[in-house]
Amino acid sequence: MIQIAPSMLAADFLHLEKDVKLVNEYADIFHLDIMDGTFVPNISYGFPVVEAISSIAVKPLDVHLMIVNPEKYVERFAKVGASMISFHLNATEDPAAVLRDIRSLGVKAGLVINPDIPVESLYPYLKDADFILLMSVFAGFGGQKFIEDTYMRIRTLREEIARQGLDLPIEVDGGVGPANAKALIEAGAEILVAGSAVFKAEDPGAVIAAMRG
């Protein structure tokens, strides 16, 4: 099943309610980017904003942590409404333990890597994860250009997931929109995150529909 996840980083923060409602019926998931200014050179938003979105979103919240020591905060993100929480492989000392922590909260656990980290480094953790997020730009900012290497990385990871007899979706994040959605789906991605492509468009609902192919 293909799922489209608008990234609220590209929403209008003065009118968040309007933007949540604009995509509520079209989106499958809300993608929320949490940046701490240390793991990535940018700061986004935190618990109160996630909680506010949660109060009106009718679709699950997917919290993408770009923070050091994610284990310190997973419980609080679960409390403010996250249904999915992902963190970067190199942001913690014991990724398997953090995946277990997230699952123990009744939340789907995801592992993320930036484009310069080999997909092979994920292999020991696949069995402990509910989804994998492959960055198709370097985490930290919206509106960047999609990195073409991502197609090969999705294919390689898909093969390994099958080899291990697992069934977990691959999410792709960064520079994604109607122009590359079809090729990403063909390569094996199942969750497509799109910020600028959705919220900078005249008709966000139509963009989401177009991305489904």
**Chain residues that interact with Zn ion, rule: CB under 5 A:** 33, 64, 173
Residue number with the shortest CB distance to Zn ion?
64
Q: Determine which one of 28, 62, 130, 173 is catalytic.
A: 173
Number of residues lying near ligand DX5 (CB under 6 A): 22
Please report how close the Cβ of residue 12 comes to ligand DX5 at its closest, in angstroms.
14
Distance of CA 126 to the CA centre of its chain: 16
* Residues 20/30, Cβ–Cβ less than 8 Å: yes
Query: Tokens 């929480």, residue?
Result: 85
Alpha helices in the chain (DSSP H): 16-24, 47-56, 74-79, 95-104, 150-163, 178-187, 196-199, 204-211
Among 173, 178, 208, 211, binds ligand DX5 (CB under 6 A): 173
In the set 19, 28, 33, 101, the catalytic residue is 33
Beta strands across the sheet bearing 30-35: 3-6, 191-194, 170-173, 131-135, 108-113, 82-88, 61-66, 30-35
Q: Of the ranges 2-10, 80-88, 150-158, 184-192, which one interacts with ligand DX5 (CB under 6 A)?
A: 2-10
User: Binding of ligand DX5 at residue 29 (CB under 6 A)?
Assistant: no
Residue number with CB closer to ligand DX5 (110 or 175)? 175
Per-residue CA distances from 1 to 53, 112, 180, 194, 197 (Å): 24, 20, 17, 17, 21
Q: In this chain, which of 28, 29, 30, 33 binds ligand DX5, going by CB under 6 A?
A: 33
Q: Is 156 in the site for ligand DX5 (CB under 6 A)?
A: no
For the annotated catalytic residues, the residue numbers are 33, 173
- The footprint of ligand DX5 (CB under 6 A) covers 7, 9-10, 31, 33, 64, 137, 139-144, 173-176, 193-197
